[in-house]
Amino acid sequence: MDSLLDAAHSLLQANTELVEYEGETWRYSVPSRSVYPHQWLWDSCFHAIVWSHFDLTRACDELRSILHWQHADGLVPHMVFWRSEGLRKHFWHYLESADGWRFRQKRPWTSALTQPPVLATAVERLVQAGVDDFLDDALPRLERYYLYLAERRDPDRDGLISTICQYETGLDYSPAYDRSLGADPARPKSILRALGRVKLANKLRGYDLDRIFARGWHCEDVLVNTIWIDNLAALKRLAELAGRSDLGDWAEQKRAQALQTLLERSWDADRGLFFNLDGADESRPTVKTIQCLLPLLLEDLPPEMTERLLEHLTAANEFWTPFPVPSVALDEATYSEDSRLGGKRLIWRGPLSMNTNWFLWQGLVRHGETRLAAHLAERSLDCIERGGFNEFFSASVGEPVGADRFGWATLAVEMAAAV
Ligand code: GLC
């Protein structure tokens, strides 16, 4: 355990960037030096949670550096481009920013997208670990962010929030989005092209949410909304701690509404799984992906739903592979062992990731499934032992198949406590 902690610490340290900006020094860890050289929102939340095991000041810095870039409307961006190196090579960053097209004169500082709202959980973990002066700074920003999500990202006012590009779900090329994008799963190029069209359309609409919700691609994703619901509970507890019962009541009321809608609309009683709701007509994809299981994280999921989800999770031909939990069920035609298809990097189409394992592991613990939780923790640690802190692992043989020296894989230290 000690050596795992040490290894996690030195990886996050080695991935740390220091930037002097506006007279201050900012610190954050890049997800992976080889593939992801910028700052990402939910990655930084996971990094902060792991940093809180070693260094509370550093953990706070990880969140401060992303919260600093909160937009005027409350959005916390999914990417911050602290360094301009690498931007010129990646013209696509412009398609994710609200900046114009003048490539030479200016560069985007942030994307105009966001990511699954894990921020309240991350702040709560730091507070629980003993940070005492951070909540005063962080709470007003959290309040604006969650209000933004409730007010601007819920066009049908049903309590569930909508994403406008699959990069916002954090599950980039999951086959759950193939159908609504009109992509042909058998042709990797068609998947990439379909996503490119969404990015371009968002940019041409100037990231105007009304226009995007009226005509563009959008989705009420189960993973995003499970995290939304779970984080509204964390926000409520933080608000109460700070003596803000008004904010706590608001968060609780939003949480209850979102949970009720998720149970009513996303649950497929015939199949015993949750599915995303695509577009204004809320049609559902049919492919079984990690999203379908994520509501296991929610403590107050009705027991009959928990049981049905557990049946799928523990079925060897679906999600209980030798190295669980694959991002796509094994018996799906789109399941892939690798993160590359036809020479293209297409992630989230089969291999497992430590962040989704961490969420599901917490769900199992919360539902009293200690045996399953321990098995999942053990297998996750096996992956790390054989392949290091990698972004993805093959679900059948446990080999690393993603970016190496990858930050959020260090979440394994949390699961190690259970083994
Ligand atoms: C990939 C992942 C996304 C993550 C980013 C940086 O795009 O799909 O979830 O935040 O990499 O690690």
Q: Give the domain-ending residue among 296, 327, 359.
A: 296
Phi, psi dihedral angles at 112 (to 5 degrees): -100, 15
CA 36/CA 358 separation, integer angstroms: 21
User: What confidence score (pLDDT) does residue 86 get?
Assistant: 72
Domain membership of residue 198 (yes or no) is: yes
Q: Are residues 94 and 221 in the same domain?
A: yes
User: What confidence score (pLDDT) does residue 104 get?
Assistant: 57
Q: Are residues 126 and 230 in the same domain?
A: yes
CA 380/CA 398 separation, integer angstroms: 9
Mean pLDDT of 134-155: 98
Contact in structure between 287 and 348 (CB atoms under 8 Å): no
CB neighbourhood size of 316 (10 A): 11
User: What confidence score (pLDDT) does residue 417 get?
Assistant: 81
Structure tokens at 375: 């098995």
Q: How many domains does the chain have?
A: 2
Contact in structure between 29 and 15 (CB atoms under 8 Å): yes
Q: How confident is the model at residue 196 (pLDDT cuts 50, 70, 90)?
A: very high
Q: Is 248 in the pocket of ligand 1 (CB under 6 A)?
A: no
- Residue 338 CB contacts under 8 Å (≥ 6 apart), including other chains: 350, 351, 394, 401
Structure tokens at 333: 């035609």
Residue with token string 């931007």: 87
- In terms of Cβ atoms closer than 10 Å to its own Cβ (0-12, 13-18, 19+), residue 157 is exposed
Q: Is 43 in the pocket of ligand 1 (CB under 6 A)?
A: yes
User: What confidence score (pLDDT) does residue 85 get?
Assistant: 77
Mean pLDDT of 369-378: 98
Q: Are residues 248 and 341 in the same domain?
A: no
Q: Are residues 291 and 334 in the same domain?
A: no
User: What confidence score (pLDDT) does residue 89 get?
Assistant: 66
More confident residue, 417 or 328: 328
- Nearest CA among 312, 325, 395 for reference residue 360: 325
State the average pLDDT for the chain: 96
Q: Are residues 49 and 197 in the same domain?
A: yes
Domain membership of residue 306 (yes or no) is: no
Domain membership of residue 302 (yes or no) is: no
Q: Are residues 16 and 55 in the same domain?
A: yes
Q: Are residues 176 and 225 in the same domain?
A: yes
What tens digit of pLDDT does each residue of 23-74 get?
Answer: 999 999 999 999 999 999 999 999 999 999 999 999 999 999 999 999 999 9
User: Ligand 1 centroid vs 163 CA: distance in angstroms?
Assistant: 15
Q: Which atom of ligand 1 is nearest to the CA of 406?
A: 12
DSSP string, 130-154: T--SHHHHHHHHHHHHHHHHHHHS-
Domain membership of residue 307 (yes or no) is: no
Q: Which atom of ligand 1 is nearest to the CA of 43?
A: 10
Q: Are residues 337 and 279 in the same domain?
A: no
Q: Are residues 318 and 292 in the same domain?
A: no
Domain membership of residue 144 (yes or no) is: yes
Mean pLDDT of 129-149: 96
User: Ligand 1 centroid vs 28 CA: distance in angstroms?
Assistant: 15
User: What confidence score (pLDDT) does residue 103 get?
Assistant: 59
DSSP string, 166-197: GGGTT-TT-GGGHHHHT--TT-HHHHHHHHHH
Q: Is 320 in the pocket of ligand 1 (CB under 6 A)?
A: no
pLDDT at 412 over 80: yes
Q: Give the domain-ending residue among 262, 296, 330.
A: 296
Domain membership of residue 160 (yes or no) is: yes
Domain membership of residue 13 (yes or no) is: yes
User: What confidence score (pLDDT) does residue 105 get?
Assistant: 56
User: What confidence score (pLDDT) does residue 107 get?
Assistant: 81
Contact in structure between 313 and 296 (CB atoms under 8 Å): yes
Residue range of the domain that includes 246: 2-296
What tens digit of pLDDT does each residue of 64-121 get?
Answer: 999 999 999 999 999 999 998 777 666 788 889 998 776 555 788 999 999 999 999 9
Q: How confident is the model at residue 151 (pLDDT cuts 50, 70, 90)?
A: very high
CA of residue 223 relative to chain centroid, distance: 8
User: Ligand 1 centroid vs 200 CA: distance in angstroms?
Assistant: 19
Q: Are residues 417 and 319 in the same domain?
A: yes
pLDDT at 419 over 80: no
CA 184/CA 52 separation, integer angstroms: 43
Q: Is 172 in the pocket of ligand 1 (CB under 6 A)?
A: yes
Q: Give the domain-ending residue among 266, 296, 326.
A: 296
CA 77/CA 65 separation, integer angstroms: 11
Q: Considering Cα of 116, then 167, then 415, then 409, what sign does the dihedral take?
A: negative
**Helix residue ranges, H only, 207-267:** 209-215, 222-241, 245-261
Domain membership of residue 256 (yes or no) is: yes
CA 123/CA 129 separation, integer angstroms: 10
Q: Are residues 279 and 329 in the same domain?
A: no
User: What confidence score (pLDDT) does residue 131 get?
Assistant: 94
pLDDT at 286 over 80: yes
CA 174/CA 164 separation, integer angstroms: 15
Q: Are residues 156 and 263 in the same domain?
A: yes
CB neighbourhood size of 355 (10 A): 20
CA angle 315, 317, 321 (to 5 degrees): 80
Map residue 285 onto helix, strand or coil.
coil
Q: Is 346 in the pocket of ligand 1 (CB under 6 A)?
A: no
CA angle 159, 163, 167 (to 5 degrees): 150
Strand duo 79-80 + 39-40: pairing? antiparallel
Mean pLDDT of 174-195: 96
CATH of the domain at 84: 1.50.10.10
Contact in structure between 168 and 112 (CB atoms under 8 Å): no
Q: How confident is the model at residue 13 (pLDDT cuts 50, 70, 90)?
A: very high
